[in-house]
A and B are shown apart, each in its own frame.
Chain A
Amino acid sequence: MRITLPNACAVALVATVLFTPINATAADATADRMAQLEARLIAMEARLAAAEAGPQAASNVSEARMVELETRLAEAEQETKQVKALAATGGNIPTSSILGKGATFDIMANSAWRNLRWTQAEQWEAVRPGVSMAAVVEALGHPPRSVDSLKPRVDEVFYYETSIRDDGNALRGKVSFRNGKVLTVQKPNFKANKAAQ
């Protein structure tokens, strides 16, 4: 094919159609999937609670079944968190990706979870004074910013923030360490942030 103006326009048009993310569709898909997962989670929690509650039921439920249910519940919880974290990115998943939508979704979900799990309030529950630095990274992920503190009784400070600037809508958390253990925790103000939204 010769390179002419009409040909170039045609190629550009096709490329645009192929590679433009269908944001609305992707966002809807994310919301649907999250809703499905939460529904499944609620159902499983109810079944598990029922299984654990009544002595009659307990006698009918094998130990293996209990373990299976607990495992599935843990997996579902993790997946729900990942989807929530992904939703925070806007759910922009290019449907035309070479990997296909499902694979891209999983990669982005894992990446988003790795980087953004500190934006979930429940992840901060494990971060308390005395907890190790490794445990903080496990719960919140690696901090977007950190400094070797110049204060005499602090070794290092992890900053978890959506914006360095003093933006009223920004989530901002801070964890300081001394000898590898958490010294102080300043959690993001999730309530104020939700209210602002």
Chain B
Amino acid sequence: MKNKIAIASAFLAAASFSTAEIVINEFLSVEGFVDMSYSNYDGELDSNGTDTDESGNDFGIDQVEISWLFNFDLVTAQIDLQYEENSADDVEVEQAFVNYRLSETSVITAGRFASMLGFEAFEPTGLYQYSTAYGLPAATGDFTDGILDGAPAGFSDDIDDLLGRLSSALFPVGPRYNQGVKYTYETDSSFYGLSILDGVSEYSNGLGGDSETDGTAPDGGGYGAELAAAFNFDNGISYFAGLAYENGDGFTLFENIGGIEIGDTEQWIFNTYVTYETGAWLFAAEFNYGNTEWNDVGGTDDLEIDSTTALIMANYAYSDQASVTGRISYLSAEGDVSGNNNDLESEAFKYTLAHNYAFTDNLLLVTEISYTESEFDADNGAPLGLAAADNTDYEEVLLAVELLFTF
């Protein structure tokens, strides 16, 4: 059931396998899911008094995932292959890691694995709703498509890259997979984890950067680390706290249209949440803080983004097959360019109501309605063209129906 995802996500992500599986033989099992949905959004953008309405819908297979689970006693391994509709690749390796069990409580993991941070599950099988609490509006893609009309080749990729990096700064806690090594210590009531990674938000495929300063392009190398602890109390309360850090040598934005070099970067992420389960009720509250610094943006300015995100959620299982969920999520972000105060400012609330109905143990229908309201202000000195988006309000209603099949 989904309730266990709350705190167990940290435990499961740590090293051990989910026990749900189809056993093929003594050492190999498979599990997975198919996620399909219909969604419709209606958005209204008010920028400096000019209204723009945008609506759209999406229908199809969102995600298919198959996990291969290997068990050789002390050594276990997992390979997750997935197809995702919005991914650049048709099929990708989402996770691939091997665990070596040092003792009953200690495990070393190496490979590509999920972040330990975050209350919400990274897969739809663990979510209580269709949408996640944090993220850019559903209309983002359609609005950027309008900007891209007549743009030079490759600019679309540049915009996607920029949105991805800004999203990581604004919403630093969310689905994330990195490569590295992780140590976890777990008992029935507590969990501790430490990982050394090739990056957190901005970097991958390296561990550290070029040791020599070549004075030319950014090296593109970085590293990250995560520290996490969770406690499961007997009274239904679970508590989690985690910290992530990333440091890197910079990267290039807008590579396809000349490029804007970003110097050294640094990011801190703090994540904490508490869950309380009593009878058919589950309550959760989460708080996240992120600090992201990009030095020498375009060779001159430094950009610092402080982001606070939070959620409160209640889930009630009113029968053996159905539950309802209410969630309120919040974002407050401030961007500061080279010491000027509040060059960028954004605030958003998202209200979500969802209903889950399980036809069987492995077939679930999720329906959701969400309302998002947000505002964005930018001073004249805002970088990356964001000044043009000053005094912008946006409202969006999202309706979704999702069918989830697990095996």
* A residues lining the B interface (CB < 8 Å): 142-157, 176, 178
Contact = CB atoms under 8 A, between A and B. Distances in A.
Nearest to B362: A147
A108 to B, nearest CB: 13
Contact of A154 (B23, B315, B361): B361
Contacts of A157: 361
Nearest to A179: B4
B167 to A, nearest CB: 29
A156 B21 CA distance: 11
Contacts of B1: 148-155, 178
Contacts of B323: 152
B404 interface: yes
Interface of B: 1-4, 18-23, 31, 125, 280, 315, 317, 319-323, 356, 358, 360-364, 404, 406-407
Nearest to B323: A152
Contacts of A178: 1
Contacts of B406: 147-148, 150
B322 A152 contact: yes
Given A144-B23, A145-B22, A155-B1, A150 B363 contact: yes
A150 B23 contact: no
B170 to A, nearest CB: 31
A176 B321 CA distance: 14
7 contacts: A146-B19, A149-B1, A151-B321, A151-B358, A152-B321, A155-B4, A156-B20
B18 A148 contact: yes
Contacts, number: 71
Q: Which 3 pairs show the lowest CB-CB distances between chains A and B?
A: A152-B317, A150-B364, A152-B323
B277 to A, nearest CB: 9
B325 to A, nearest CB: 10
A152 B2 contact: yes
A124 B119 CA distance: 38
Which of A142, A144, A149, A157 counts the most B-chain CB atoms under 10 A from its CB? Answer: A149
A153 B280 contact: yes
Given A146-B21, A150-B360, A156-B20, 10 more contacts: A143-B23, A147-B362, A148-B406, A150-B1, A150-B406, A151-B320, A152-B280, A152-B317, A152-B320, A155-B1
B127 to A, nearest CB: 11
Contact of A146 (B20, B317, B360): B20
Contacts of A144: 22-23
Given A152-B1, A152-B3, A152-B356, A147 B317 contact: no
Nearest to B316: A152
A156 B317 contact: no
Given A153-B317, A154-B361, A148 B322 contact: no
B2 A150 contact: yes
A172 to B, nearest CB: 14
A80 to B, nearest CB: 25
B359 to A, nearest CB: 9
A176 B323 CA distance: 18
Contacts of B356: 150, 152
